[in-house]
Structure 1
Amino acid sequence: MSDIQLFRLNTTNGACELPSRAVAVEKQLQSLIEAQMETFLGVRFLATEYATGKTHKGRIDSLGLDENGCPVIIEYKRHSNENVINQGLFYLDWLLDHQAEFRWLVMEKLGKEAAEQIEWSGTRLLCIAADFTRYDQHAVQLIQRNIELIRYKLFADDLLLLELVNVVSVADTSAAAKSIESGADKPTPAGRDKTWQEQLSQATLEISVLFEQTTSYLQSLGDDVQEKPLKFYLAFRRLKNFASLVVQSKRLQLYLKLNPDSVEFVEGFSRDVRAIGHWGTGDLELSLRTQADLERAKVLIERSYQEN
């Protein structure tokens, strides 16, 4: 059970606790999340009640594509005693077996570019419920899939709490990823962007050390921080990304989800990239070349963590 309590403060009565509640019907929760999916979860909405065909005879509650280009299945349940995890795993297997169908859906809804950049290695299952049992939380630790358990609570008429209860993030074990890692020292064909592993293998010793220090700091911000290695960058997120790390041979590029207008720029260190294409998510770019740059960046990194 969640022990989160929410209070309304006012000068007349001091403080009063707001009682929490679950939705009356599952569809109410689903409609609420789908209407603001990108705001709540950093996921672009694709489809609702998506039919899995005559053989599987199922309906996926919500389908989406997250900010890193990873497919997302979302399943909702009102109560903790409903078997949302097993149901979600069933649909997750279906999705991985029907990649072409999902790619067409993305192309139809978000365009060709989004469809060509799908990151299948990061396919996620989000289970949203009023609560989860300790058996649920233990079970997901044993399942080698990207599964996130999210507890919700409604307070009053206009407040929604989403709490990340448990998360399992697995590394990409696909043949493509293994071939990239094993060939990190091989020449990169002309015209192809280098993966972050290839960039790191060719970086200076100073940048390699700085990479370890930066990732360690990002992970230390909280128990809810998830690190997701993708093809060209590493994403750090809670429910949504708060930082993306791109490796270059002579510097690290850190992208934060902060409004650049709220930051005082330092030449050579920070800049507004809202109108500049780049890997990862975030409108503020920080260039890290030394330990001093990382120390200077920590205030902004923590801000991004707190605000996302």
Structure 2
Amino acid sequence: MAGLQVFRVAGGDVRRVEGAAVEFERDLQRLVEANMEEMLGGVRFLAAEYSTGPVHRGRIDSLGLDEDGSPVLIEYKRTSSESVLAQGLFYLSWLVENRSEFEALVERRLGAEAAERVDWSRPRVVCIAAEYTRYDLVAAGMSHHRIDMMVYRRYGDDLVTLELAVSIAGGCGSLAVGRSERTRLASPVRRTVSDVLSQVGGEVRELYDELDARLLDLGEGHSVELQHYVAYRRRRNFACVRVLAQAQALVIFLRVDPTTVQLVPGWTRDVRRIGHLGTGELEVRIGSMEDLDRSMALLRTSYAAAA
């Protein structure tokens, strides 16, 4: 029995509600754009039908910026996938080659601070369609780009479902860029989380591996390595992990209200008014397995809040 099924319950009787596609693709696009932050888990809307210019000759359905500062492009198909993945990757190539134009758009819509924090290590392609073929899903799995393929269905006039069919994390440094971009990015050298982990002691590496396993064991989450941290996500981030090489420790930012916990110096800190790399308002420092053990309740609370 495959796919999401919706049932209406009345007086002890259960009746299946048949889903349907929207009448027009533009209706789906307008719905998502008007509610993007809620429907796509923290993605802020930037532009619709964005022109890629006279040479590339295309229009990106929607552009956004997620909570990690990663560029997001969204492509929609009313019914079947109709090569929506290939179309999304086609536009991704343009986006990567035109970073300054995208950053200018972010500055106009969200301000200079948001533009300065755009993270190009994991730009996202989000495909939204009524269904996908097995060829689409296999092709997504073979890609080294970050891809989310979502299935939508409409039930009556007041219910829409979005179900994640496949999510591909992608790989660091996988995007092809032109010579001018390589020159611009060559200095200063940007270290990834993997680079930092290769320089820390064995105990910290073991601690990170254990933290990684426990975060993923919480449930349906997945991880994405970004430039400055590793984000662990459900619908939104529930943990952002940084490796502190000099301190030989890990720092986690959680989606937990600091006023609901008793803060302990050296372990937990309220960072609502402190600039930091990563999402979340509570900072937790992990320097030992004992720290990790006593942090598990906070990790579960953050996981639940990210649904």
Distance (whole Å) between structure 1 residues aligned to residue 282 and residue 242 of structure 2: 13
CA distance in 2, matches of 1:60, 1:33: 14
1:129 matched to 2:125? The reply is no
CA distance in 1: counterparts of 2:285 and 2:236, whole angstroms: 22
Q: For the structure 1 residues 154 and 244, does the alpha-carbon distance in structure 2 shift closer, same or farther, using more than 3 Å as the test?
A: same
Cα 1:170/1:194, change in 2 over 3 Å: closer
1:209 aligns with 2:206: yes
The alignment partner of 1:281 has SS state of: coil
Q: Deviations over 1:105-145 (max 9, x none)?
A: 11211222222222112111110111111111011122222
1:166-198 Cα distance to aligned partner (Å, 9 max, x none): 1222221269xxxxxxxxxxxxx9xx9976456
Corresponding residue for residue 119 of structure 1: 119
**Helix, strand or coil at the partner of 1:21:** coil
Matched with 1:179 is none
Q: Distance in 1 between matches of 2:243 and 2:267?
A: 15
* Equivalent runs, 1:1-308 vs 2, <5 Å: 2-9=2-9, 12-13=11-12, 15-41=14-40, 42-173=42-173, 196-197=193-194, 199-201=196-198, 203-222=200-219, 224-248=220-244, 249-308=247-306
CA distance in 1, matches of 2:7, 2:295: 34
TM-score, normalised to structure 1's length? 0.84
Residue type matched to 2:29 in 1? Answer: Q
CA apart distance, 1:25:
1.1
Structure 1 residues 39 and 260: alpha-carbon distance in aligned structure 2, compared to 1, 3 A threshold:
farther
Displacement of 1:210: 0.9
- Opposite residue 272 of structure 2, the aligned amino acid is R
Gaps of 5+ in 2: 176-187
Alpha-carbon offset, residue 65 of structure 1: 1.2
Give the letter for the 2:267 counterpart. Answer: F
Segment of structure 1 superposing worse, 276-285 or 59-68: 276-285
Q: Which whole-Å CA distance do the structure 2 matches of 1:120 and 1:28 have between them?
A: 30
C-alpha separation in 2, matches of 1:16 and 1:7: 5
Contact 1:75–1:127, Cα closer than 8 Å, also in 2: yes
Question: Displacement of 1:97 after TM fit?
Answer: 1.5
Distance in 2 (alpha carbons) for counterparts of 1:72 and 1:145: 12
d(CA) in 1 for partners of 2:126 and 2:225?
A: 19
Structure 2 counterpart SS, 1:232: coil
Aligned residues: 292
**Matched-pair contact (CA < 8 Å) for 2:143–2:170:** no
CA pair 195-124 structure 1, distance change in 2 beyond 3 A: closer
For the residues of structure 2 that align with 1:259 and 1:14, how far apart are their CA atoms?
A: 41
Aligned position for 1:182: none
Deviation at 1:241, TM superposition (A): 1.6
Displacement of 1:60 in angstroms is 0.5
Give the deviation of 1:203 after TM superposition: 4.0
Query: Deviations along 1:70-102, whole A, 9 cap, x unmatched?
Result: 111100111125221111111111111211211
CA, structure 1 residues 110+94, in 2 after alignment: closer, same or farther (shift >3 Å)? Answer: same
Could you report, residue by residue, the CA deviation over 1:190-237 in whole angstroms, capped at 9, with x for unpaired residues?
xx9976456545545432221111112223334x53322222211112
- Higher mean alpha-carbon deviation, 88-97 vs 256-265, is at 256-265
Q: Using the alignment, how far apart are the partners of 1:194 and 1:59 within structure 2? A: 34
1:184: which partner in 2? Answer: none
Report how far residue 4 of structure 1 moved: 1.5
- Root mean square deviation, CA, Å: 2.7
How far apart in 1 are the matches of 2:86 and 2:135?
A: 12
Distance verdict in 2 for CA 1:3–1:199, change over 3 Å: closer
Contact conserved, 1:164 with 1:239, CA < 8 A, in 2? Answer: no
Paired with 2:129 and 2:81, the residues of 1 have a C-alpha distance of 10
Instruction: Please list every run of 5 or more consecutive structure 1 residues that lacks an aligned counterpart in the other structure.
Output: 176-188
